[in-house]
Amino acid sequence: MTMPVEPSTTDAVNLRGHACIQDYVTRLDASPGVYRMLNEKSEVLYVGKARNLRARVANYARPSGHSARIARMIAETTSMMFLTTRTETEALLLEQNLIKQLKPRYNVLLRDDKSFPYILLPKDHAYPQLRKHRGRRAVKGRYFGPFASAGAVNRTLNQLQRVFLLRNCTDSVFNSRTRPCLLYQIKRCSAPCVGYISEDDYAALVADAERFLSGKSTKIQAQLAEEMAKASGAMEFERAAALRDRIRALTNVQQSQGVNPRGVPEADVIAVHLEKGQACVQVFFIRANQSWGNRDFYPATGAGAEEPEILEAFMAQFYDGKEPPRLVLTSHEIENPDLIGALLAERARRKVELACPKRGEKAELVENALRNAREALAMRMASSAAQSRLLEGLAEAFGLEAPPARVEVYDNSHIQGSDAVGAMIVAGREGFVKSQYRKFNIRGAGLTAGDDFGMMKEVLTRRFERLLKEDPDREGETWPDLLLIDGGAGQVSAVAGIMADLGVEGIPVVGVAKGVDRDAGKEEFHRPGQRPFALRHNDPVLYFIQRLRDEAHRFAIGTHRAKRAKVVSASPLDEIPGVGAGRKRALLAHFGSAKAVARAGVTDLQAVDGISAALAQVIHDHLNAR
């Protein structure tokens, strides 16, 4: 519930810092809840939780004893907001939701919330397919994971194919096979599609794969060795050789896992390294006594948070929507282990143990993760420093007042005007910002084929009209500091005119055009009202601009191809009301093609499962309309 806490007097409205906070303390009670600290523009600076709101907020009212980060935050505070909860755990959940929504400047923010892939063994098929899965668990079956990346899943699937010979083809391919595919020939599949293995024998392979993914690989090896000995004794040398190959593949899988802890069957190892205000959090996934990969994260550190606070905030946000393991090992002691443990247990619906080990195998796992975090942050900082130098060079080359924090690069792609798309890529201090890439389906009905000027006008108009609507005062980080356009003087002049019509001023525009020989390295740069110029052929800034342009071109081409593929695969059945994906599949499976469906009579259409007499008439009338 909201706690209505207004300033005590009219004069208190103008208070700020310690005095402002003290004014609120006098009217707070000891309830658990969440508090927000706001500045004079009503921007949320910080969201925090408390077991006792009055005691927690009173700490901020003290004039000394704060870190530099907290002191800056207090000095900017001009008002506060409060929400009370029944328990501190509820306050923590509410706090994380508000942080995710508001992204306050002084909170630790996890900027990468992508889901992790799993391996899925479905239970809805006699010969289940071993496959990668990401997202909602809608398919009935066993899920193994998470894995750190799609690459880690693919490597494991590739290795499991050699050991357990399970199919990886889709059900439609499986049902249409009349002879075994190449995977059978290279001994990576048992060819259940053509009956080369019985259902019971295939089920035994599936059970072996499940045991391996559950950490029981030694039993599988012993079993395979026993079967190999029996086959050799019975002079079934071909079968013995096949079993030998599977044992070798299983051994290779175990060796390639890298870190394989014996005493830690299931855990996430989380380590943070902090340097010069930047943090890297490294997460290793241990499942079934095997390392299933690692991933690094670079949370915003809330303008100077320390390791315990970063770890605590990271875990609360990281496990939002992800199932925690039974054990979480951390590199530093967190401030509220009982509270975070309760939160993770609530999300996992079972007990979750938190530990910061000091010795033994668990400590070695943490040290390994910490070393990876240290090395990853060093590489990122070096890359960031190089990127900063390139942005400084860009500012010097184009006469900008300061290095651009956000560079937007635009390109178009089409084939004689068809399936035209516009593309925008973004680069900044940390390189390409792919989450900010945008594609634009060209809608202009009056455009002629190949009208690049018209396409660019539509793209920029849509882009900046939206910016003007969402952030007219340019206070956010979505306004560009530099526009790069693929083109020469004509394109730059057109873009300058578009920006003037929209009333957008102060954003430099540069056109990148190939030289007279259209060779890379001889690019000319065009600015409104200025003579074109070139950079020396070995200038790092030139290479940087080429990379930006090539990335925009790659993104535009990829977007255009995806649009063309969608158009090519379109069917007349898509436009019939009442015919969804399931009925479309049924019609195509029954008749073989959309043309055959169009030639069919109403009675023939009714023979398809799910097609009623009324719908059959609708389909017939739609496909035979003149």
Quick check: is 393 in a domain?
no
Helix then strand then coil, % of the chain, to nearest 5: 45, 20, 35
Confidence at 372, pLDDT banded by 50, 70, 90? very high
Quick check: is 189 in a domain?
yes
Q: Is the pLDDT at 420 greater than 80, yes or no?
A: no
Nearest to 23 by CA among 36, 14, 32, 34: 14
Residue in the block written with tokens 């990335």: 551
Q: Does 153 share its domain with 277?
A: no
pTM of the complete model? 0.69
**Among 537, 564, 591, where does a domain finish?**
564
**Among 210, 229, 256, where does a domain finish?**
256
Are the C-beta atoms of residues 573 and 597 closer than 8 Å to each other? yes
Predicted pLDDT of residue 445: 59
Q: Does 100 share its domain with 15?
A: yes
Quick check: is 616 in a domain?
yes
Q: Does 292 share its domain with 357?
A: yes
Q: Does 354 share its domain with 296?
A: yes
Q: Can you give the residue range of the structural domain that contains 245?
A: 118-256
Domain CATH for 478: 3.30.420.340
What pLDDT digit, counting tens, does each position of 243-263 carry? 777 777 666 655 545 456 778
Quick check: is 315 in a domain?
yes
Nearest to 344 by CA among 352, 333, 336: 352
Predicted pLDDT of residue 2: 52
Sign of CA dihedral 105, 107, 112, 113: negative
Predicted pLDDT of residue 233: 80
Rounded mean pLDDT, 521-546: 87
Q: Does 122 share its domain with 237?
A: yes
Domain CATH for 40: 3.40.1440.10
Quick check: is 5 in a domain?
no
- The number of folded domains in the chain is 5
Q: Does 122 share its domain with 232?
A: yes
Lowest mean pLDDT segment, chosen from 6-15, 233-242, 255-264, 591-600: 6-15
Predicted pLDDT of residue 262: 74
What pLDDT digit, counting tens, does each position of 447-506 carry? 565 667 778 888 888 899 989 888 888 877 889 999 999 888 888 888 888 888 888 888
Cβ-based neighbours of 512, under 8 Å, separated by 6 or more: 484, 485, 486, 487, 523, 525, 545, 549
Token representation of residue 564 = 């063309």
Q: Does 186 share its domain with 85?
A: no
Q: Does 536 share its domain with 587?
A: no
Q: Does 427 share its domain with 477?
A: yes
Predicted pLDDT of residue 483: 93
Q: Does 287 share its domain with 224?
A: no
Domain CATH for 618: 1.10.150.20
Rounded distance, CA 83 to CA 35, Å?
Answer: 6
Q: Does 423 share its domain with 479?
A: yes
Let me know the angle formed at the C-alpha of 58 by 57 and 60, rounded to the nearest 5 degrees: 70
Rounded percentage of the chain residues whose pLDDT exceeds 70? 88
Q: Return the H-helix or E-strand segment holding 511.
A: strand 509-513
Q: Does 545 share its domain with 414?
A: yes
**Among 85, 106, 127, where does a domain finish?**
106
